[in-house]
Structure 1
Amino acid sequence: MASIDLTPSQQTILTALTNLHRDSEAAVKGETIAKEIDRNPGTIRNQMQSLKALQLVKGVPGPKGGYKPTAAAYEALDIQELDQPASVPFFHDDDRVTDTNVAEIDLSNVHHPQKCRAEIHLRGSIRDFHEGDTVIVGPTPLSDLIVKGTVDGKDTTNNLLILNLKEIIAPAEQKE
């Protein structure tokens, strides 16, 4: 399949749709997407027309209707759907988050002691995270890595939390 270039708005809407659909597995109403990403429902409806034309979204008519992502939507967002993804423990201000899964952790500026950052790519809503909130991710499967920090920003287009790192804990010895 050829690569599809999505606008930031389309990417934000498609990401929200795939996350909301994953939570409920039912059709997702445009109003629900609008609320999730703080946009006007009319904007969502307009963007859905172009996403339908790209065959990334299908409309479901009726009172329980709304929108569902197609398999191509996951490919366009580069999401690999795992049947049983490993669950990475994730805490927000000391409370375990259970409706969100960590997809990826990217570390940047690890060479700089005061400016080390982590980008936490999530599957699920990032709406309730705010600057200054404490986040702990891990231990990760396989490596047992634990990342602790505070939210420095968020990227709703890519469903990322940007953390100002306070601590990275890695096991002292390699597992055989």
Structure 2
Amino acid sequence: MSSIELTTSQKDILRELINLYGQSERAVKGEDIADGVNRNPGTIRNQMQSLKALQLVEGVPGPKGGYKPTANAYEALGVQDLDEPANVPLFHNGEHVDANVQEIDLTSVHHPDLCRAEIRLHGSIKQFHDGDDVVIGPTPRSKLQIEGTVDGKDETNNVLIVSTSMMEAPASEPEH
């Protein structure tokens, strides 16, 4: 599938749909999406028409109806829709958060005093604020654990920018 150029508004709506659908695993009402992105439900309905035309959402009729993201929606946002994603724990100010860490990008690792990590989540990042303490990991394979402070966030892409204070992974056993 070729890359689809979406507006910021379409990305926000699609990401909110994916987050809400991931929590409930059933059709999501337009009103719930509207609440999550601070928009009018009518605006959401209009946007959903264009997202349906792009085959990114499907409408579900009936009283339990609403919208569901298609596989193309995950692809358009670069979100992997894994049947059984490995759980990477995330702690926010000491409390476990029910969000799945999708990706960890280490930026500015060459800087002598500062290392930033960009943490992309599957789940809402609204509750995170600058200065909050976070612990990410350990990751499933390398057992990497990152501790740091939220330095910013990109809500459109569901990314937390974390100034790391500690990163460690246990020494691995040499393979024979």
Does the alignment reach a TM-score above 0.5?
yes
Structure 1 pair 112/36, CA: closer, same or farther in 2 (3 Å)? same
Corresponding letter in the other structure for 2:55: Q
Structure 1 pair 39/162, CA: closer, same or farther in 2 (3 Å)? farther
Residue 45 (structure 2) aligns with: 45
Q: Is the 1:37–1:127 Cα contact (8 Å) retained in structure 2?
A: no
Q: CA deviation at 1:114?
A: 3.3
- CA deviation vs aligned residue, 1:88-129 (integer Å, no higher than 9, x gap): 1110110111x2111110010111133321110111111211
Residue 81 (structure 1) aligns with: 81
Q: CA deviation at 1:37?
A: 2.5
Q: What does 1:88-103 align with in structure 2 at a 5 Å threshold?
A: 88-97=88-97, 99-103=98-102
2:92 equivalent to 1:70: no
What is the rounded CA distance, in whole Å, between the counterparts of 2:174 and 2:87 in structure 1?
20
Residue 155 (structure 1) aligns with: 154
What is the rounded CA distance, in whole Å, between the counterparts of 2:42 and 2:166 in structure 1?
43
Question: How many residues get paired?
Answer: 175
What TM-score does the superposition give when structure 2 sets the normalisation length? Answer: 0.91
What is the rounded CA distance, in whole Å, between the counterparts of 2:83 and 2:174 in structure 1?
26
Q: What does 1:90-169 align with in structure 2 at a 5 Å threshold?
A: 90-97=90-97, 99-169=98-168
Structure 1 pair 54/93, CA: closer, same or farther in 2 (3 Å)? same
What is the rounded CA distance, in whole Å, between the counterparts of 1:64 and 1:171 in structure 2?
48
CA RMSD of aligned residues (A): 1.6
Q: What does 1:6-17 align with in structure 2 at a 5 Å threshold?
A: 6-17=6-17
Corresponding letter in the other structure for 2:4: I
Corresponding letter in the other structure for 1:127: K
What is the rounded CA distance, in whole Å, between the counterparts of 2:174 and 2:8 in structure 1?
41
Provide the secondary structure at the position in 2 that maps to 1:86: coil
Structure showing greater relative contact order (alpha-carbon pairs closer than 8 Å, 6 or more residues apart): 1
Gaps spanning 5+ residues in structure 1: where? none
Structure 1 pair 154/51, CA: closer, same or farther in 2 (3 Å)? same
Structure 1 pair 131/43, CA: closer, same or farther in 2 (3 Å)? farther
Q: CA deviation at 1:79?
A: 2.4
Structure 1 pair 70/138, CA: closer, same or farther in 2 (3 Å)? same
What is the rounded CA distance, in whole Å, between the counterparts of 2:140 and 2:8 in structure 1?
32
Residue 2 (structure 1) aligns with: 2
Identity %: 66
Gaps spanning 5+ residues in structure 2: where? none
Corresponding letter in the other structure for 1:112: H
Corresponding letter in the other structure for 1:170: A
What is the rounded CA distance, in whole Å, between the counterparts of 1:155 and 1:40 in structure 2?
22
Provide the secondary structure at the position in 2 that maps to 1:31: helix
Corresponding letter in the other structure for 2:101: V
Q: Is the 2:71–2:81 Cα contact (8 Å) retained in structure 1?
A: no
